Structure 1
Amino acid sequence: MIFKTLTLNNFRVFNGETTIELTPRKQGVFERPIILFGGLNGAGKTSILTAIRLALLGRRALGTVITKKDYQAYLNEQTNNAATKEDPNAEATIQLSFTHTHQGEHKLYKITRTWQAESEEKLTLTVNGVVDEALTNDQVQAFLHELVPPGIGDLFFFDGEKIAELAEDDTGTYLKEAVQKLLGIDIINRLNTDLDIYLKGLGAEAADKDTRKKIQAAEDEKRTITHDVEATRVKIDELGSILTDIKSKIANKEAEIQSQGGAWAETKEQEQAKINDLYELEKELTSKIRHELSGTLPMALAPNAMQGLIDRLSEDQKIKQAKAFGSELNQALPALQDKITANFDEQSSDIMATINSYFGQLTAEYGMASPELDISDSEFALIQAQFKEGQQSQRLLKELSTALEQVQDKLSSLSINIERAPDAADLKELYESLRALEKERDTVSKEYINELLKAKTLKTKELELAKRLEKFYAKLKNNHSADKAVHRVQQSQYVLDDFKTALTELRVTQLEELFVTAYRKLARKEDLKLSAKIDPQSFDVNLVDAQGALINRKSMSAGEKQIFAFAILEALGKLSGKVLPVVVDTPLGRLDSKHRDKLIKHYFPEASEQVILLSTDTEVDQDFYNAIEHQVSHAFEIEFNQATSCSTLREGYFWAELAKEAV
């Protein structure tokens, strides 16, 4: 399959009709598979992906569980706003033409989806220029699902969110669903179910009247309950949609309140109380600072001069002490001499000479000096104490000043917050509407939970009836086990189970090989020795290092997980056997430069014969563009007009005009 053209009319950001040429061009004999779309966020890149998915998959593009009503509402939301303002009943159209070989014939197909606000979607199929008017919408969609099964479409048409979802899926759920669809296991399961129904029918035909009556009553009751379960499920989906809408309105209302200063208004009283406390603290700190300033603080303002003064006074004290000691010594020496003469008659003169020499040296240093500042000992002690207190006061003053500065900063910030806060009366209406929405949310939420409980009860009863019927049919089947038809059906079911097991194991092995090939191609050099092991029951993919140890995927970086997801998608796509275009929207956001380089060079150019890449200028930047330019068929830049809120296309990619000679 190759996409030829995509025509959008009043679709999302594209007002009026826009036709996009998608056929890959060649340069000589060389294929150029990449069609590159560039656009800033919000310009309309996702509109291209959405249009392609919607054209081919229809309602299933939105998921497996969506009501017809929700689908119609979704389509109406996709109609361009400018078009609906001009004409409330404006028509929107998606038209995708593509070539495809079907049943051995190469044909040109054109799918057209058209819708309006008050009418259902119209779906037409044109084959080689001829509209097949005999087909209904459902028949056309069934044909498209044959070409692109919904589960397969997700492997070829995806965006960054799908990559992230697959990368973070530690349960293997997504992979299991994809593999089952690829292998056709769902068809085998359905065939098994149909064979069970056939067996039940055989048994019922041979049962006695009373047993048939009981079976019929149980089947009728089960059918009624199944209908109630489905109706409840629809009601749950509707309530879920309503609940989501209410939550969105609540979020918008909260955002509106925030934009008008609601956050400040909610805390205004608290902020005012904080300000009052801070004013008291400021007053207390100011008082303490004044107290320190009026005390001994000035003594510490000239520390060098004060230390010099104390040193001088200390020297004066030593001089005074030496003189006092000398005076007292002179008074005591005569008595000492008499004592020594009396006790040491012959040696008294030598002893006195030694004593005079010793004390003479002690008093000689300060004996001739005089104190410069003659103050008392108590006055000197007072000066020392005041200097020390001044130093302590200086440290305390610094701490108090820092605390006061912090308090004043907080006061300034709180004052600004209070000024921002509007009066409560200004927000009254907004808060009232928010409370009303919250009340509505609670009511709907309660109803939603009740419906869930109801569905659970009904489902339990349905399962009980199913078990009861199973016992009836098992008994009947045993009674007719000799019947050839029963025997053949049972043998067929055994064969189907064996076939499913063998097919699963074979395909899982193939998938492992394809995944490893893809992963090694995209991973960094240090990861090339990794292999993979896929559990055939859970379908969880485990990376295995060179020593055979499992690698915890949770420990991988976001970029490594995305490469992991790309490798899974490529492997699944190849396993499907489908040859489809690949459409990727903004896939590089969480990747580092090395991983981006691998994708740019080894994934996109080789992913398919046609690769439609939707990127911002920061994803495929000038360096990456230069690396794949030889693979780019042509490019478009999506330009968004702020005035009209609509987008237009021009050929080229931001800074680059592609060569026009490529055909």
Structure 2
Amino acid sequence: MKFIELVLQNFGPYAGRQVINLSPEENEKSAPIILFGGMNGGGKTTLMDAIRLALYGQRAQCSTRGNLGYSDFLTQCVNRHTPPTEKTRIELFFEHIEYNQVIKLRIVRYWTANPKDGKDHLGILDGEWPDTALAQTWDEYIENLLPLGISNLFLFDGEQVRELADLDTPPPLVVEAIKSLLGLELVDRLSVDLDVLVSRKRKQLAGAKELADLDEIERKLNKYNDEKEAVIQEIHNLTNQSHIAKKNRQQADHKFLSEGGKIAGEKSQLDQQLEEAKEKAQKQRQSLCELAAGTLSLALIQPLLIEAEIQGEKESRWQQAQAAQNLIKERDRRLLDRLHQLQLTAQKIKQIKTFLDVENQTLAEDIGKPEEFRLGVDAETLKNLSLLLHHQLPLEINQAENQLQYLTEFESEIDSTERQLASAAAPEIYQRLLDAVNEAKDEEIKIKVAAEIADRKKLELENAIAQIKKDLAAYGEEFMNRKNTHHIITSVAKVQKTLQLFREKLTLKKLNKLEIQVTECFRYLLHKSNLVHRVVIDANNYSLSLYDPEGKPVPKHRLSAGEKQLLAIALLWGLARVSGRQLPVAIDTPLGRLDSSHRGNLVEKYFPSASHQVILLSTDTEIGKNEVEKLRELDAIAREYLLKYDPEQRQTIVEEGYFW
């Protein structure tokens, strides 16, 4: 299947008639990507809704429909500047292969504001000729080409991928799409058809009373089935509402934080914290003052004290040397007296005296004298000075530095707390923000409670349906005596058991193929190729489990937000590949919260390979200048369009070209 052309006339922000060529072929060259650029609110999502609406009409899951009825939704889609004489119109021209032949069809839907019959008018053109029969059976026809159940796997947006990435198990829509792609719904449908067959056979065999009882039981069964379908639809609606409520609550929380609501709520605690910090800072200042009042102030003249210590030591050494020199002279005198007593010759005594005089002279010269003898300190004073300089003063300086560091930290804490208090919201703004947060939380809780009640009701209905089926089976055993029909009824139970076994084995086989494809896609997209070796899909709830090369589980919380988003894209990509259908892929706001590395992988590896036709609807910050130039280098872009939005007229015009 391939989209060739989309025509919008007075649809949403698109005034007048605008024709968009979607063909991936241009001048005998083929490239998969059709790139649309537009700012938020400029009409990108409207293009996606137009494709869905053209294909599925009233069944389309459009983003802006919500709980609106189809008539109200169509009225909402009419451009505000539409002349009274003109209609709103969507045309989707596409081609597909049928019995080895190329079939080209144009879907045409048109309507006016407040349509009388509550729906649009559908026309199908085969070439230039209307095909009335095909228009009447269009829903069945499109289900064979692109079933509604799997359309979200091919036509999706970044928000859908982000929600899928954040959930531990896929949402019901994705689960149903998985079952549809794997062919499991055929088994379920066959089981239901067998129940219908057994019901008919029972009616053939039952008497009047049994027939009345059977009718009553089947009436209850049909009633419970209808109620179950209604509850399933309610659960689906509540799931959508829950996502919206969660998003609103997150926005309220973010606004509460960004506008100072949280700080305003903690004001009394912050005030107390500020006072404590100021008190600690004051204590540190007082302690520093006490230190400064003692010997610490001598640190200001520490160089002079060191100089005094050096001078004192010099003078002390000189005094000691002088005392020693006097002792030596006294010894020399006694030595000479002794030599005279020994009656040495005068010549020898003179030589010895000369020698001693020379030695004493040399010693006196070696000792020298201080240039200035100004201190005259005693040994005790010099010892105290040394103790002050080398022990007491360094200790007090270290204490002062530590206390100064503490003071700096307290002052930083004071500054930080005062800045926080300055950014606190005013009381009236705080109350308004708090009310918005509480209201969003209450709405989210209310929807969750309603969803839990609906789930319990669904379980009760399933139990009631199971009990009724048991009652019907009892009728089959108790009252059905005709051999052939009874054989059919009893055989159906065996067939259904076999079908259940077949379904389980088929599920495992199909899921194994899907696991291989998802693993291959995820590893291809992920730049950490050794992080995940295998992706396993649970056969019951279809949740994903990751395993490393050693076979150990990889907790999902270890993945970054971008990696989770790549895993969600890998799941959608793997499902599309397993389906075997050659279908276009359309992606709205495709890059979300991916970092540059993951964004590059997605641009280079996924977009050019996702399908033979890939329609991308992006803002200027998602597929930016670098990304679009990379795609151009890869020759992956067939056409580029820019959605130019006029905020005053609230209208969008489609022009060729991109932001750059």
1:373 to 366, 372, 375: 375
Say whether 1:466 aligns with 2:450: no
1:654 to 634, 648, 659: 659
Verify: 1:112 aligned to 2:109, yes or no: yes
Change (3 A) 1:123 1:211: same
Deviates further, 125-134 or 560-569: 560-569
SS of corresponding position for 1:62? coil
Deviation, 1:190, is 1.0
**CA shift at 1:183, angstroms?**
5.2
Match of 2:604 among 581, 586, 597: 597
Query: Partner of 2:346 in structure 1?
Result: none
1:149 to partner: Cα distance: 0.7
How far is the alpha carbon of 1:198 from its aligned partner? 1.1
* In structure 2, distance between residues paired with 1:75 and 1:207: 49
CA displacement at 1:412 relative to structure 2:
2.8
Give 1:2's aligned residue: 2
2:634 to 625, 628, 640: 628
Name the CA shift for 1:178/1:443 in 2 (closer, same or farther; >3 Å).
Answer: closer
Which of 407, 413, 416 is the aligned partner of 1:413?
416
1:284 deviation in Å? 2.0
- Paired AA for residue 2 in structure 1: K
Q: Cα gap change, 1:255/1:586 in structure 2, threshold over 3 Å: closer, same or farther?
A: closer
> Residue 99 of structure 1 aligns with which residue?
95
User: What secondary structure is seen at the aligned counterpart in 2 of 1:421?
Assistant: coil
Where 2:294 maps in the other structure, the secondary structure is coil
Q: How many angstroms apart in 2 are the aligned matches of 1:82 and 1:13?
A: 6
- 1:192-231 maps to which residues of 2 (within 5 A)? 192-207=191-206, 211-212=210-211, 214-231=213-230
- Does the Cα contact within 8 Å between 1:532 and 1:543 map onto a contact in 2? yes
Q: 3-state SS of the aligned residue for 2:624? A: coil
1:295 has 2:297 as partner: no
Matched to 1:393, the amino acid is E
The alignment partner of 1:83 has SS state of coil
- CA root-mean-square deviation: 5.5
1:584-604, CA deviations, whole angstroms, 9 ceiling, x for partnerless residues? Answer: 445465636466434466x16
CA contact (8 A) 2:51 2:92 kept: yes
Looking at structure 2, the residues matched to 557 and 253 of structure 1 have their Cα atoms a distance apart, in angstroms, of: 24
Counterparts of 1:524 and 1:430, CA distance in 2: 41
Give the whole-Å Cα distance in 1 for the aligned partners of 2:395 and 2:145: 88
Is the 2:89–2:108 Cα contact (8 Å) retained in structure 1? no
2:2 alignment partner AA: I
State the distance in 2 between where 1:240 and 1:509 align: 29
Distance of 2:276 and 2:654 partners within structure 1: 61
In structure 2, stretches of 5+ residues that fail to align are: 335-351
Q: Give the Å deviation of 1:424.
A: 1.6
Cα pair 2:202 2:480 within 8 Å, conserved: yes
Distance of aligned partners of 1:74 and 1:424 in 2 relative to their CA distance in 1, 3 Å threshold? farther
User: For the residues of structure 2 that align with 1:442 and 1:513, how far apart are their CA atoms?
Assistant: 39
Q: Distance in 1 between matches of 2:16 and 2:419?
A: 49
Q: Specify the alignment match of 1:156 in structure 2.
A: 154
1:127 and 2:125 aligned: yes
CA offset at residue 291 of structure 1?
2.5
**Structure 1 643/256 Cα, relative in aligned 2: closer, same or farther at 3 Å?**
farther
Distance between the aligned counterparts of 1:518 and 1:364, measured in 2? 97
- Paired letter, 1:4: I
Instruction: Assess if the C-alpha contact under 8 Å between 2:93 and 2:104 holds in 1.
Output: no
- Please name the residue that 1:147 is paired with: 145
Structure 2 contact 261–434 (Cα < 8 Å) conserved: no
| 1:277 matched residue in structure 2 | 276
Aligned to 1:658: none
Report the alpha carbon displacement of residue 228 of structure 1 after superposing the two structures with TM: 4.2
1:237, CA displacement in angstroms? 5.4
1:62 maps to amino acid: Q
Q: Post-superposition shift, 1:330?
A: 10
Match for 1:70 among 67, 72, 76?
A: 67
Are the equivalent residues in 1 in contact too, given 2:7–2:92 (CA < 8 A)? yes
Residue 387 (1) aligns with residue 385 (2):
no
In the aligned structure 2, how far is the partner of 1:396 from the partner of 1:597? 61
Q: 1:540 to 1:55 in 2, by over 3 A?
A: same
Distance 2:34 2:553 in 1: 37
Counterpart residue identity of residue 390, structure 1: L
Instruction: Note the 1:522-561 alignment, pairs <5 A.
Output: none
Q: Note if 1:403 corresponds to 2:406.
A: yes
> For residue 22 of structure 2, what is the amino acid of its counterpart?
L
Moved more, 148-157 or 71-80: 71-80
User: What SS does the corresponding residue of 1:416 show, helix, strand or coil?
Assistant: helix
1:232-631 → structure 2 map (5 Å cutoff) = 232-233=231-232, 260-320=259-319, 372-388=374-390, 389-428=392-431, 431-432=434-435, 435=438, 446=449, 449-473=452-476, 480=483, 572-573=575-576, 576-587=579-590, 589=594, 591=598, 593=600, 596-599=603-606, 603=609, 607-608=611-612, 610-615=613-618, 616-618=622-624, 621-629=627-635
Inter-CA distance 182–41: structure 2 relative to 1 (3 Å threshold): same
* C-alpha distance in structure 1 between counterparts of 2:218 and 2:270, whole Å: 68
Q: Deviations over 1:573-631 (max 9, x none)?
A: 46545443333445465636466434466x16xx32x44334444387354233233x5
Q: Could you state the TM-score of these two structures normalised by the residue count of structure 2? A: 0.72
Pair 1:411–1:510, CA change in 2 (3 A)? closer
Greater CA drift, 559-568 or 264-273:
559-568
Give 1:407's aligned amino acid: F
Contact 1:163-1:565 at 8 Å conserved across structures: yes
Q: Identity, % of aligned pairs?
A: 24
- Structure 1 alignment gaps of length 5 or more: 336-352, 656-663
- C-alpha distance after superposition, 1:378-410 (max 9, x if no partner): 433443344353333333333333333333333
Q: Which moved more, 1:421-430 or 1:408-417?
A: 421-430
Structure 1 residues 156 and 208, CA, compared in 2 at 3 Å: closer, same or farther?
same
Deviations 1:298-330 (A, max 9, x none): 322344432232233234344555667888999
Q: Does the C-alpha gap of structure 1 residues 7 and 190 become closer, same or farther in structure 2, counting only changes over 3 Å?
A: same
The alignment's TM-score, normalised by the length of structure 1, stands at: 0.72
2:3 match: secondary structure: strand
Query: Secondary structure in 1 aligned to 2:417?
Result: helix
d(CA) in 1 for partners of 2:584 and 2:632? Answer: 23
Counterpart-to-counterpart distance in 2, 1:560 and 1:440: 31
Number of aligned residue pairs: give it: 622
CA shift for structure 1 position 54: 3.5
